Amino acid sequence: MTERVNESTIGAHGRIITVEIMGRPYSVPEGLTMLRAMWYTGHEVVRGAGCLGGFCGACAVTYRTRDDVRLRNGLACQTVVVDGMSFFLNFSYYPNRKALYDLDQLSDPKQDLFKIYPEATLCRNCNACTEACPQGIDVRDGVWKSVFGDFEKVSEMFMDCVMCGQCIPVCIADIAPNHVALYASRVQGARLTLPPENLSKRVGEIQSGKYDREWKRILSMSEEDLKVASQPSK
């Protein structure tokens, strides 16, 4: 396996290694992430670079390490280059059907999955989506859990999904597993999870105007008064 980024190790070794970027060899300092290696070697990366923190999913990358026959997917801002690695950024956008739905209008959200994403039931268990996922999510299992209505588990499993789309082109059943999981997670959050009791109470109080006078007072305060008021009382 390759190393995930640790900013403190970047450039720390001082060794120059050779990597192959889109089929051409380059010399780069050891410890760079793939994205930094691309910048270091003069590649202009506009589409493909976003948050640089492993959250936005813009920098999906496909790579192979020396002597490993297997192609792997990763996030270029999070994967550190190693000597002999070959990689390319997946600039491609995979056309996929993002169903439109109104969460408030669903009459039976678990059953409605079969109208919104009917192809979800056609999963053939090939596991290619799980193999493709750079976030280590058991995507295949998530599709099945969605089909069987375990939306709560799906929402937990896909917490780290960055919507990079790598699970889409590999699916032999034309499922977009990330969108199926997103539907299940949204339904879980909006329709199936009971709101915390105290939060609902407080929202009700705010809506009824209980704090309006206090808000007006705070909004009329000077910056100095606000500083004093925000000091913890002794």
How far apart, in whole angstroms, are the C-alpha atoms of residue 187 and residue 182? Answer: 8
Pairing of strands 60-64, 86-89: antiparallel
Which residues have C-beta within 8 Å of that of residue 159, sequence separation ≥ 6?
A: none
Which of the listed partners (ligand FES, ligand SF4, none) does 82 bind, with a CB threshold of 5 to 8 Å by partner kind?
none
Work out the widest C-alpha separation in the chain, in whole angstroms: 70
Nearer to ligand SF4, 28 or 77 (CB): 77
Report, in Å, the least distance between residue 76 CB and ligand FES: 6
Which of the listed partners (ligand SF4, ligand FES, none) does 171 bind, with a CB threshold of 5 to 8 Å by partner kind?
ligand SF4
Amino acid present at 43: H
Report, in Å, the least distance between residue 34 CB and ligand FES: 10
| Tokens describing residue 117 | 């994403």
Nearer to ligand FES, 76 or 143 (CB): 76
How far apart, in whole angstroms, are the C-alpha atoms of residue 123 and residue 173? Answer: 6
The binding site for ligand SF4 (CB under 6 A) comprises 123-129, 132-133, 135, 137, 139-140, 143, 161-167, 170-173, 175, 177-178
Report, in Å, the least distance between residue 74 CB and ligand FES: 10
Which of the listed partners (ligand SF4, ligand FES, none) does 146 bind, with a CB threshold of 5 to 8 Å by partner kind?
none
Amino acid present at 186: R
Which of the listed partners (ligand FES, ligand SF4, none) does 52 bind, with a CB threshold of 5 to 8 Å by partner kind?
ligand FES
Nearer to ligand SF4, 81 or 143 (CB): 143
Beta bridge partners of 87: 21, 63
Which of the listed partners (ligand FES, ligand SF4, none) does 99 bind, with a CB threshold of 5 to 8 Å by partner kind?
none
How far apart, in whole angstroms, are the C-alpha atoms of residue 109 and residue 20? Answer: 47
Report, in Å, the least distance between residue 64 CB and ligand FES: 19
- The residue sitting closest to ligand FES, measured at its beta carbon, is 77
| Tokens describing residue 89 | 């950024």
Report, in Å, the least distance between residue 61 CB and ligand FES: 9
Judge whether 54 and 31 are in contact, CB under 8 Å.
no
Count how many residues are written for the chain. 234
Q: Give the residue among 35, 53, 33 at the shortest CA–CA distance from 44.
A: 35
The binding site for ligand FES (CB under 6 A) comprises 49-52, 54-59, 75, 77, 162
Beta bridge partners of 62: 73, 88
Report, in Å, the least distance between residue 117 CB and ligand SF4: 11
Which of the listed partners (ligand SF4, ligand FES, none) does 172 bind, with a CB threshold of 5 to 8 Å by partner kind?
ligand SF4
